[in-house]
């Protein structure tokens, strides 16, 4: 007994439902970050604006102990146990904070983003582990496996549960997801800094913070602004979470196919599949082990929720 197309279709729906919950967790983290960034900008404005306007000239003074309280509030929220990418950025922001009051604002916003990115990394790591555990359970329930085959699946699962696991079949040029999420962090911080600079050059007023930096109206949302930079990072993180989970699940499918000596398989599409995946499905079945035979998501696209199912048919 091996899984059927019907079972795989049901499985895809379960996975999409789990993805939706992960998406909610990631959105919640980034929404909280937007609120905290807004609070920092408001505090900086209240402290440094002169006659209701904040311009670059107000922010060139030497940083005092009183100034550093702005940073200290956010610094203290960082977890005690930080990993290397977080330590590098934290130390960099601390150095930047000493250059001027403008540098202090950049550094404080950076600290807020370190915490948000740290939380998102935790969500994705946990999601990867859940993906592997759920898939092992699904495989064992729906396939006749010998003791040896079960052991091989468990060994593979242990290997791919590692946070640093990288699929052998992914391109040598691909950037590991953890590096990618910290590159997104840097991009997000640079965009936010640039948006604030543009506003400072024109003279920032209290209403500009609400209307231009953190707009909630359709007109303001058309310009680049802080919520938009955060939203783009959120979209990227959700895509990473789904793609990493799908890669690990397909690695376990690969192990099952090897153990059961599967010769051919079909491609099962997710609901509302794209043209590329519909074309892959139509061109099946595929020979297992052939380097030209496609695998999700590496040969389809990021975010892909399609799966493979064994078939008796030959080419």
Query: Where in the chain are the domains?
Result: 20-264
The DSSP element (H or E) to which 308 belongs, if any, is: strand 307-311
Mean pLDDT for each consecutive 10-residue tract of the chain (315 residues)? 90 97 98 96 95 92 93 95 94 95 96 98 96 95 91 92 72 76 96 94 93 76 84 96 95 93 95 95 93 93 95 67
DSSP 8-state symbol, 172: T
The DSSP element (H or E) to which 4 belongs, if any, is: none
d(CA 230, CA 111): 14
Q: What angle do CA 243, 163, 111 make, to 5 degrees?
A: 90
What is the pLDDT, as a whole number, of residue 222?
Answer: 65
Instruction: Find out whether 108 and 70 touch, Cβ atoms under 8 Å.
Output: yes
d(CA 191, CA 189): 5
In terms of Cα–Cα distance, which of 18, 59, 70 is closest to 242?
Answer: 18
End-to-end Cα, the chain, rounded Å:
22
DSSP-derived pairing of the beta strands 264-268 and 286-287: antiparallel
In the chain, which residue ranges form alpha helices assigned H by DSSP?
5-48, 65-75, 84-97, 101-142, 147-160, 177-202, 206-208, 218-221, 226-259, 275-282
d(CA 250, CA 205): 53
Sign of torsion over alpha carbons 148, 153, 159, 162: negative
In terms of Cα–Cα distance, which of 196, 197, 200, 191 is closest to 230?
Answer: 191
> Chain centroid to CA 144: how far?
35
What is the pLDDT, as a whole number, of residue 264?
Answer: 95
What is the pLDDT, as a whole number, of residue 310?
Answer: 94
CB atoms within 10 A of CB 113: 25
Instruction: Find out whether 159 and 165 touch, Cβ atoms under 8 Å.
Output: yes
245: helix, coil or strand? Answer: helix
CB atoms within 10 A of CB 167: 17
**pTM: predicted TM-score of the whole model, two decimal places:** 0.93
Instruction: Find out whether 97 and 63 touch, Cβ atoms under 8 Å.
Output: yes
CB atoms within 10 A of CB 196: 22
DSSP 8-state symbol, 56: G
What is the pLDDT, as a whole number, of residue 221?
Answer: 56
């Amino acid at each position: 007994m091996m899984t059927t197309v019907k079972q795989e279709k049901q499985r895809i729906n379960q996975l999409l439902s789990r993805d939706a919950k992960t998406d909610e967790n990631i959105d919640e983290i980034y929404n909280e970050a937007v609120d905290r960034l807004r609070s920092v900008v408001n505090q900086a404005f209240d402290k440094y604006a002169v006659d209701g306007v904040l311009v670059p000239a107000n922010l060139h003074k030497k940083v005092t102990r009183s100034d550093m309280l702005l940073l200290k509030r956010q610094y203290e929220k960082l977890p005690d146990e930080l990993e290397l990418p977080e330590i590098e950025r934290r130390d960099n922001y601390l150095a930047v904070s000493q250059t001027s009051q403008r540098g202090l604002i950049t550094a404080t916003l950076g600290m807020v983003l370190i915490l948000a990115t740290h939380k998102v990394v935790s969500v994705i790591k946990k999601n990867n582990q859940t993906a592997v555990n759920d898939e092992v359970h699904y495989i064992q329930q729906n396939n006749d496996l010998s003791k040896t085959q079960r052991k091989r699946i468990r060994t593979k699962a242990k290997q791919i549960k590692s946070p640093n696991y990288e699929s052998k079949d992914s391109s040598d040029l691909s950037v590991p997801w953890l590096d990618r999420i910290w590159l997104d962090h840097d991009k997000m911080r640079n965009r936010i800094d640039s948006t604030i600079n543009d506003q400072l050059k024109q003279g920032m007023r209290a209403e500009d913070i609400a209307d231009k930096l953190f707009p909630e109206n359709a007109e303001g949302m058309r310009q680049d602004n802080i919520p938009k930079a955060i939203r783009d990072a959120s979209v990227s993180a959700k895509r990473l979470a789904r793609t990493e989970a799908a890669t690990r699940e397909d690695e376990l499918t690969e192990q099952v196919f090897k153990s059961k000596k599967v010769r051919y398989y079909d491609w099962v599409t997710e609901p509302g599949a794209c043209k590329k995946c519909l074309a892959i499905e139509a061109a099946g079945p595929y020979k297992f082990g052939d380097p030209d035979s496609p695998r999700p998501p590496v040969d389809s696209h990021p975010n892909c929720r399609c799966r493979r199912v064994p078939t008796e048919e030959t080419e």
